[in-house]
Structure 1
Amino acid sequence: MDYFQALSAIIRPIRACNLPHTLEPMKALLTAMGSPEKSLKRVILVAGSTGKGTMAHHLALKEALKIGEFVGLYTSPHVNIFRERIMYFAADARLHTIQTDDVIAGVEVILDAAKRIDYQPSTFEATTALAMWWYAKNHIATAVLEIGLGGRFDAVNAIPHQVCVFTPIELEHAAMLGGTLESIAWHKAGIIQPGCEVFTLPQSPEVMTVLEREAAAQGTQIQPYPDADTIQHRMSLVICENRRILIDGGHTPKAGAYLIKQLNTPGLGNIRLVERRIAVVIGMLRDKDAAGYIANFDAPNVHLIYTSPGGDRALTANELAARYTPKHATQSIIPDLENALKSLIDRPETVFIVCGSLRMASRTREFFGVIPPHLLEESRRTRELFEGDSYRERLKPD
């Protein structure tokens, strides 16, 4: 099989009704593969709602520079190409991505193991297993792994680990994780294991109560994360027609607030949003707190452009507009994302932001040529595999 056939072979989307409530199938899959996760001697897990990927990158780079060895970095979902999920930092701070031949070889191992134990892993389970196989193949002993959904029953939690780091936990994926902030925190707190070092960024009192209860049950304590001020928010800056266009994939209320805060700091040229006219193109998914996110941009100097990132989980532009009516900002609706992006070229504002979901970031990076030309076709074909008709067909009940 070729690379895209390998990807297609492991695409098995998970529905809320099928969310795992045990780690045993994932552990069985790894065992059938020869337990590649045992090659890892130090593992850091990152869970939360906001900034997980940013924290994971920060920690992996920090570890690589400290120990002078390769450090695995496993994150999800991908922005443009699937292979972004499985990487490692070298001691010189260069980031290396799994190659297509290794994806093919690893998927063959996974499919063989799954067949022998009569189990069909989800996309995320198979991808996690692929990462473990690749790290073992490359003799990587340290890795930073980002939790995908929740934590307690997430495939990544099947990997033995020594350190847990929590980023801010918010009300998200409510349908899958119990519907309340406390239930979501309980799922995420499940990554705490006996003997783990546990660190957290600031949390709400409700969340801290849940985390501290879990830590006490596991015989450990929670410490404040010590280097919070050194974490650099990841976003793309595009220059098009002499205009600065900022692309961000955050999608929670705290992510929106943090984006505004970052844009007012010297790191991005001290844009000072309050003194500028701003156009914000927003597209979001159905299970996100759209009103809480958009409220961060509701100011007299802002024009909101509601659009849609596309895909089965996306809100239409009109549905998004119905979620929030601005009190101060002006607004317009442009249903098609490409048309919304084209409209920025002739708008009168001086600052432009495209945000609201990773799908928005993905398609916008393609549109403005942020992706290297040799990866553009891979990005488009990957998006079709994970968002196209065949993917939607697999979402239907068996």
Structure 2
Amino acid sequence: MSPLDRALDEFRRLHPRKIDLGLSRIETVLERLDRPQDKLPTSVHIAGTNGKGSTVAFLRAMLEASGARVHVYTSPHLVRFNERIVLAGQEIDDASLIDVLHRVRDANDGAPLSFFEATTAAAFLAFAETPADYAIIEVGLGGRFDATNVFTPAVCAITPIDYDHAEFLGRDIAGIAREKAGIMKPGRPVLSAPQREQVMAVLNVAAKRVGAPLIAWGQDFRAYPENGRLVFETETELMDLPPPALAGGHQVMNAGLAIAVARTLGLARDAVADGLRQAVWPARMQRMGAGPLIDMAHESGADVWLDGGHNPHAARALSTHMASLEGQSARPLILIMGILANKNAGEFLDFFQGLAAGLVAVEIDDHASLSPDVLSELAQSRGMATTIGHNLTDAMQKAINMGEALSRQSADQPVIPPRILICGSLYLAGQVLTANG
């Protein structure tokens, strides 16, 4: 075990047996560390169910295109924990991360502290001690009682709110919206992506109660594609911009929210345009290039996509993009899928019924994933051919074989290489990126 893994593992052992919602644990630790959350640069706090990561990526790219140094805190990571903490544009190095983790450990003095609380405190400590112009901080879960909700941002942003993490947030969409709205602060503008009518009503009430100006999609701003460009519009301006670098029609919404935040912060149009072109966010509708795992597919002529979305809202966006690709170039769509047991796999697969020809079910290493047998049954009930992959290499080969077999009705017809989508979990996406080198 590396020194960094040992430092992280110390906090896993301190994780409370039962998570009681509240901020008292992290506030106590931060107080002992001289309140680093009060020493952050101009900050943006981003909550929501889907699109947080992409919105962060667009906003970061815009800020950096303006010449700014930007801290970023996101979760979870894909390959290395260090990805979660970006210091002035660079992932935190092991020595710096171990240093702040040890200082959080010492300040905590053995008391119960969740892993996310500990790493959030470490991120704030690192941010406070490294010069930067902005900090973008993504909520981990919910909002009101999330460990990140201990600072006062310049701007808050809320991406689309939907059902997820039902074991913590429940199945009441209004209640979920109230939790997300808990990041609002008096006098600080809150920008919202498109929301369900019920969610928007909750956000309006919360904003008025707190005294936070609410700037809403469709009322105060909007973005839409037109003639291969992206148009951003408010009551006072119309911006003709390049299309978002990230794939998928839903990225128009994420980009539009990021533009609205950027303009609220005073960013120039050129920086906004450059950020749209330059944004990068792995495992979000990512078309895979070379690498040991992906080369197998490319040698057969198959096309491979990777996405970490894991709830029905994400599945809707993902299936829409796959359908648009099918309209451009018809291929059998084969899913390689692993999903955590606490996610709604059936609803996720509903969006691929009639679109995906087959599914290769896999387990997610070191996580409580849904049994591949159960996942296969769910896919079969939605008309998909299924098999089980024993590892990622085996799953890729089976997806290639399945796609080729399903591409023709008889032996004398030509084989059409499949389109392969690896999906269902960010943890699975991380394993794919690791395996692909």
Aligned pairs for 1:1-398 within 5 A = 2-12=3-13, 18-66=18-66, 68-88=67-87, 90=89, 96-115=90-109, 119-225=111-217, 226=221, 232-233=246-247, 234-236=284-286, 237-239=288-290, 240-241=295-296, 242=298, 243-263=302-322, 272=327, 275-299=330-354, 302-323=357-378, 325-334=380-389, 336-347=391-402, 348=404, 349-369=417-437
Q: Can you list the C-alpha shifts for 1:31-81, whole angstroms capped at 9, x where unaligned? A: 211222222132111111112111112122222323x22111110011111
Asked which structure has the greater CA Rg, the reply is 2
CA–CA separation in structure 2 for the residues paired with 1:201 and 1:285: 27
CA–CA separation in structure 2 for the residues paired with 1:307 and 1:295: 18
Q: Can you list the C-alpha shifts for 1:264-304, whole angstroms capped at 9, x where unaligned? A: 66xxxx56377221111111112222122111211256212
Give the counterpart letter for 2:65 in structure 1.
Answer: L
Give the counterpart letter for 1:159 in structure 2.
Answer: F
Compute the RMSD of aligned alpha carbons. 2.5
CA–CA separation in structure 2 for the residues paired with 1:262 and 1:88: 33
CA–CA separation in structure 2 for the residues paired with 1:19 and 1:304: 36
Q: Can you list the C-alpha shifts for 1:96-141, whole angstroms capped at 9, x where unaligned? A: 10000001111111111111xx633211111111111111221124
Q: CA deviation at 1:83?
A: 0.4
CA–CA separation in structure 2 for the residues paired with 1:24 and 1:97: 29
Q: Can you list the C-alpha shifts for 1:185-205, whole angstroms capped at 9, x where unaligned? A: 221111111112111111112
SS in structure 1 at match of 2:195:
coil
CA–CA separation in structure 1 for the residues paired with 2:136 and 2:7: 25
Provide TM-score, normalisation by structure 1: 0.82
CA–CA separation in structure 1 for the residues paired with 2:139 and 2:323: 30
CA–CA separation in structure 1 for the residues paired with 2:355 and 2:171: 34
- Would the aligned equivalents of 2:48 and 2:158 in 1 still touch at CA under 8 Å? yes
- The worse-fitting range, judged by mean Cα deviation, of 224-233 and 160-169 is 224-233
CA–CA separation in structure 1 for the residues paired with 2:289 and 2:180: 35
Q: CA deviation at 1:146?
A: 0.7
CA–CA separation in structure 1 for the residues paired with 2:305 and 2:196: 29
Q: CA deviation at 1:228?
A: 5.3
Provide TM-score, normalisation by structure 2: 0.75
- Would the aligned equivalents of 2:333 and 2:355 in 1 still touch at CA under 8 Å? no
Q: CA deviation at 1:316?
A: 1.0
Query: CA 1:286/1:274 → structure 2, altered by over 3 Å: closer, same or farther?
Result: farther
Structure 2: gaps (5+ residues): 225-242, 248-283, 405-416
Q: Can you list the C-alpha shifts for 1:320-340, whole angstroms capped at 9, x where unaligned? A: 234455444333344555532
Query: CA 1:120/1:219 → structure 2, altered by over 3 Å: closer, same or farther?
Result: same
CA–CA separation in structure 2 for the residues paired with 1:299 and 1:14: 43
- The worse-fitting range, judged by mean Cα deviation, of 27-36 and 321-330 is 321-330
CA–CA separation in structure 2 for the residues paired with 1:318 and 1:217: 49
SS in structure 1 at match of 2:136:
strand
Partner of 1:374: none
Q: CA deviation at 1:14?
A: 5.6
Structure 1: gaps (5+ residues): 91-95, 370-398
SS in structure 2 at match of 1:158:
coil
Give the counterpart letter for 1:84 in structure 2.
Answer: E
SS in structure 2 at match of 1:61:
helix
Partner of 1:387: none
How many residues are matched?
356
